[in-house]
Structure 1
Amino acid sequence: MEEKLIKKRFDPEKRFMELGKTKIDLARLCRDARGVEDDLRQAIKEDWGEARYNDWDTRLYPFAEASDLVVQDDVLLNNYPPLYTDIQTVCSDCDNGPCDLENGKGLCGLDLDPFQARLSLRVACRGCQSQFMDTRDLLDYAIKEFGLDKEVSLGARHDISDQALSIAILTGQYVRNLSHLERALAYAEAQLNKLFLASHQGTGSVFDFENMTFHCGSVLLLVQGVSELVKGSCFGFQRGADRDKLEMDHWPPPNISGGLGNIEKGKPVIAFVGDNFLPAWSAINHLKDKGLTERFEICAPGPVGLDIARFYDRVRIVGTMVNAGKWIRLGFADVIVASTGCSHLDILGEAKRVESKVIWVSPQGLGGLPDRTDSPGEELIDDLIGGLDAVWVRDVDKVGEIAVRVAQGLKGRGNYLLSEEKVKEEAKRCREDCDLCFNACPNSLLIGQAVRKAREEGLSALTPIEKGCYFCGKCEQQCPEKIPIRDLIVAALKKRVPDDKFIMRSGRGSVPEDEIARSAFTLMNSPGFCWILSCGGGKDIEDVGWLANEFTGKGCVTLIAGCGAVEAARYFDREAGKFLFEKFTCEYAVKNISSLGG
């Protein structure tokens, strides 16, 4: 029966292959290799030795499902069982609900603990969506611009078996061009759809759902690998793997000026917010073509700022994405080009308060804006300069020039920030017997105490809470006196803007195997490796930088990426007189910190 099934699944001509003197039966290596026979043959030829096949009992899972990877997950979950804290007892995921799972199983047979695991999976899937969508948009754009045959790599020092390991592990293919990336991303998107469905309808065990949550993280790494390959191969992102490894002790240079205080006054300011760097790529190319780069300030928070820094070193990275709402209400930008991102904020509302113009570029709409992608560019420019608050334009090539010309044509905006006298006046309404704002604050900031101090001390009393505030607005929702707490916080931010400066390096991209091997000779003198992962928004804005300095200074090989790198860059060693990325180099080695990018 089994042999009949194998014959049905396999073309006899493709079932066997030669590896040295050994004949390999693909049917014994892979449960179902239909459609991936050529991938398997290629992978075995490039990555296997004959002895490996003969000595190891190997199974291959090309384009793996979560259930194909349970062996690895079983080890992790048995050693580190999940702990659920914010318990939700009522399930309303289907038409039969709601079911109170504290009183027993639901009508579908789901118990309380598996329900928590299912919710965990749902959160993981939701967290992946933005990066999946932006990578899809990026890859589609690259295919239109460069074609499916465009070759891709992570850099000259990466061997084919050393690049995009998440893609190779999960799909069984070594990617060489955009066509391969298209196939890998389609696989990841299909996996996310299956996982999302299971997060609403699945009735498995805790292990089943946590296995799927791990798989969700794995396919996210695949998607990030696709994005990195496209950025470096198609859009000229600088990469350490294209440099001689002996250069890495001083490359990339610490030449990115960050912080609001580094924005030159008097110049038009264009800010890019979200995960999509393509509008910035278009705008910067327009500035270069017109010789205008010295006359404009290009700013961005978070991941898009880190992306821009890898092809344009004049960018001002103003902070982390989680704080974007605070920067926007400050009114530092004349034009905001926005796309979907990891943080949710009222871009239209915040921008309108300070008369910043918004150009929305994502495929899905925003706030009821009409889609004006097909409107003539001149008409859009005239409308925005003439008083229109925002437009929705999905053509990123078009958006670049529009943003530049609108920023050029605006005649100045009002100052909507509270004066110190107004802050003191608002602070007098804060009650001594309340502190509901403290209870609502995710960072447990002493908001009421600071506001009451501001009655006499003014803005300086608000600086400690301003640094730890990521502008969620929960304090204002709870305030019985309706004090505009976030306006007070932005006024305090304005006071410290001149001192909000830091220096950082742009991201270097992935670390090739030869550099890892070179570092191995010094690891005996190192405490080990340290990965710092942070989205920012901590209670103390300097915590991440302090940790990075401590670990790196004590001899760790430190890796950092994303908004965590931006927060770390703020750390200033007063004794050395240097910022963190000036103090340590970016080489993958002991007592160095490698910023990998967004």
Structure 2
Amino acid sequence: MMAYGDSMPRASKDIINVKGFHLEFGEIDEYLKRKSCESKRVSVDYDELRKWDLNLLSYFKPFYAPLCDLCCMCTYGKCDLLGKKGACGINLEKQQAREALSTAVIGASAHAAHARHLVDTLIEKKPTSELHYDSSIDIKTPISTTVTGIEPETPEDLDRIMTYIERELTNLIASVHTGQEAEVTDFESKALHAGMLDTMALELADIAQINQYGLPTGKADTHMLEIGMDVIDSTKPVILCIGHNIAPSAEIIDYAEDIGAEEEIEICGLCCTAMEMGRYSKSSKIVGPISRQLTFLRSGIPDVVVLDEQCIRSDVYEVCGEMGMVVIATGDKCSMGLEDMSEENPYRIINRILQEKIPGVLIKDGKKGCHGRCEPCTSAYPWQGPRNIRPFQGELCEVLAL
């Protein structure tokens, strides 16, 4: 807000003069740019945020409906907490609060790790570039700037905020350990803190991928996408990307365009990755949400399944193996027990997939992985003959119309 006595900036303005009345519309954002970021910072100190949390929790008290009466989190246990305390002295209410903090930190860590990957990639490829924002965006990072006072201008600024997030998450997960935090309100305060860190990480991840991949930034004339299982052309080789991270799928799309195969291959996504692919390329298609994952895999339509992180069923490798689909994992957060061939020659990888019929590989090199994802489709599809029997083909008729 403007302080008393501050004058409106004399930037571009409209002036209305009426008898006895004078009104100026100035560029308010010019005033904001002059103010120090420190004046907009809330606090990066958890102790200060804790005071506000405890004030909120004094009015809005948590309610617990226990998912489990046991605590199995340490070597003292397992302990039955129904009407009694555990070996460490914890009761059921405190255990439920600890579980709430644990799940909050797990979720925040997943998004923070995703953001870290994108920020590191941006720093590696464009270390000194100025971050791009749409001209209609006045406040670039409302959450991060409010908390830290930093207005990111370069990838290094994103890295500074990420370092803060990672430090705080380490402290929060340490509080879950036996012999640490032991009060319900403090567990809940830390869970609120994890939620704040989560939203900050999401914000940084989107800024990083917008600048790395040129995603739309608030433009109204962006392209429309096709969605649903019925829009996938199963007469073509199909690459299905599952997960949360745009990086692997963007490399696949770029490679397909480079070799002129974008019209010969269907590149589709499932869950969060599908949305990000749609922001990157109008040629990609959206299969649907995570609830469609098993159905689409069992349909036998995909030829190659690419996994990045999050949104992935635990049995996806087994299901793909049953259906004869090649699985390619792309990161260390979801390796699926596959052989790491990141350092191998791309053509050796392709040869092993096609000739040795290995069901899956781990390729963490994005550029190299494109060969391993596209080539098996374009090479194997014309002569592989009929696809695997599709056990749910009849049942899918109704689903395909959705």
Change (3 A) 1:156 1:355: same
Is the contact between residue 90 and residue 98 of structure 1 (CA under 8 Å) also seen in structure 2?
yes
TM-aligned CA deviation for residue 318 of structure 1? 0.4
Residue 389 (str. 1) matches residue 362 (str. 2): no
Q: Give the partner amino acid of 2:208.
A: V
**Residue in 1 that maps onto 2:307:** 338
Rounded Cα–Cα distance in structure 1 between residues aligned with 2:199 and 2:263: 37
1:63 maps to which of 44, 51, 56: 44
**TM-score when normalising by structure 1:** 0.58
Q: Give the partner amino acid of 2:145.
A: A
Residue 144 (str. 1) matches residue 134 (str. 2): no
Taking the TM superposition and a 5 Å limit, the aligned residue runs for 1:350-365 are: 350-364=319-333
1:134 maps to which of 106, 114, 118: 114
Rounded Cα–Cα distance in structure 2 between residues aligned with 1:44 and 1:384: 59
Instruction: Please list the CA deviations of residues 467-524 of structure 1 after superposition, one character each: whole Å capped at 9, or x if unmatched.
Output: xxxxxxxxxxxxxxxxxxxxxxx44542225423xxxxxxxxxxxxxxxxxxxxxxxx
* Deviating more after overlay: 128-137 vs 349-358: 128-137
Residue 163 (str. 1) matches residue 140 (str. 2): yes
Rounded Cα–Cα distance in structure 2 between residues aligned with 1:234 and 1:93: 41
1:294 alignment partner, SS class? coil
Residue 224 (str. 1) matches residue 214 (str. 2): no
Q: Give the partner amino acid of 2:378.
A: Q
Is the contact between residue 97 and residue 187 of structure 2 (CA under 8 Å) also seen in structure 1?
yes
2:286 alignment partner, SS class? strand
Taking the TM superposition and a 5 Å limit, the aligned residue runs for 1:434-583 are: 490-500=392-402
Residue 123 (str. 1) matches residue 103 (str. 2): yes
Rounded Cα–Cα distance in structure 1 between residues aligned with 2:202 and 2:133: 12
Residue 414 (str. 1) matches residue 387 (str. 2): yes
1:102 alignment partner, SS class? coil
Is the contact between residue 79 and residue 86 of structure 2 (CA under 8 Å) also seen in structure 1?
yes
**Residue in 1 that maps onto 2:293:** 324
**Residue in 2 that maps onto 1:114:** 94
TM-aligned CA deviation for residue 71 of structure 1? 4.0
**Residue in 1 that maps onto 2:375:** 405
2:343 maps to which of 367, 370, 374: 374
2:237 maps to which of 268, 291, 299: 268
Rounded Cα–Cα distance in structure 2 between residues aligned with 1:196 and 1:349: 32
**Residue in 2 that maps onto 1:13:** none
**Residue in 2 that maps onto 1:596:** none
Rounded Cα–Cα distance in structure 1 between residues aligned with 2:334 and 2:313: 14
Instruction: Please list the CA deviations of residues 226-253 of structure 1 after superposition, one character each: whole Å capped at 9, or x if unmatched.
Output: 111111112111111xx4xxxx4xx335
TM-aligned CA deviation for residue 163 of structure 1? 1.7
Is the contact between residue 62 and residue 170 of structure 1 (CA under 8 Å) also seen in structure 2?
yes
Residue 213 (str. 1) matches residue 191 (str. 2): yes
Instruction: Please list the CA deviations of residues 180-208 of structure 1 after superposition, one character each: whole Å capped at 9, or x if unmatched.
Output: 11111121112112111212333332211
Is the contact between residue 153 and residue 163 of structure 1 (CA under 8 Å) also seen in structure 2?
no
TM-aligned CA deviation for residue 85 of structure 1? 1.5
Q: Give the partner amino acid of 2:363.
A: V
Q: Give the partner amino acid of 1:102.
A: L
**Residue in 2 that maps onto 1:198:** 175
Instruction: Please list the CA deviations of residues 161-193 of structure 1 after superposition, one character each: whole Å capped at 9, or x if unmatched.
Output: x12112112222111111011111121112112
2:131 alignment partner, SS class? coil
Change (3 A) 1:364 1:343: closer
Instruction: Please list the CA deviations of residues 376-433 of structure 1 after superposition, one character each: whole Å capped at 9, or x if unmatched.
Output: 1001111112222111111011112321111101133533223xxxxxxxxxxxxxxx
Rounded Cα–Cα distance in structure 1 between residues aligned with 2:317 and 2:50: 45
Q: Give the partner amino acid of 2:265.
A: F
**TM-score when normalising by structure 2:** 0.84
Is the contact between residue 243 and residue 273 of structure 2 (CA under 8 Å) also seen in structure 1?
yes
Change (3 A) 1:494 1:88: closer
TM-aligned CA deviation for residue 364 of structure 1? 4.3
Change (3 A) 1:82 1:493: farther
1:195 alignment partner, SS class? helix
Change (3 A) 1:292 1:380: same
Change (3 A) 1:43 1:98: farther
Rounded Cα–Cα distance in structure 2 between residues aligned with 1:328 and 1:208: 44
TM-aligned CA deviation for residue 47 of structure 1? 5.2
**Residue in 2 that maps onto 1:239:** 217
Residue 92 (str. 1) matches residue 82 (str. 2): no
Rounded Cα–Cα distance in structure 2 between residues aligned with 1:198 and 1:154: 37
1:309 maps to which of 278, 289, 310: 278
1:257 alignment partner, SS class? coil
Instruction: Please list the CA deviations of residues 30-68 of structure 1 after superposition, one character each: whole Å capped at 9, or x if unmatched.
Output: xxxxxxxxxxxx9993458xxxx8xxxx9x654332x32
Taking the TM superposition and a 5 Å limit, the aligned residue runs for 1:31-50 are: 45-46=35-36
2:337 alignment partner, SS class? coil
Change (3 A) 1:198 1:376: same
Rounded Cα–Cα distance in structure 2 between residues aligned with 1:382 and 1:306: 32
Rounded Cα–Cα distance in structure 2 between residues aligned with 1:394 and 1:171: 33
Rounded Cα–Cα distance in structure 2 between residues aligned with 1:309 and 1:121: 34
Rounded Cα–Cα distance in structure 2 between residues aligned with 1:121 and 1:237: 34
TM-aligned CA deviation for residue 360 of structure 1? 0.8
Is the contact between residue 231 and residue 237 of structure 1 (CA under 8 Å) also seen in structure 2?
yes
TM-aligned CA deviation for residue 88 of structure 1? 3.1
Report the identity percentage: 23
Change (3 A) 1:367 1:305: closer
Rounded Cα–Cα distance in structure 1 between residues aligned with 2:102 and 2:45: 20
Change (3 A) 1:90 1:494: closer
Change (3 A) 1:110 1:203: farther
Is the contact between residue 234 and residue 301 of structure 2 (CA under 8 Å) also seen in structure 1?
no
**Residue in 1 that maps onto 2:155:** 178
1:299 alignment partner, SS class? strand
Q: Give the partner amino acid of 1:232.
A: I
Unaligned regions of 5+ residues in structure 2, if any? Answer: 7-31
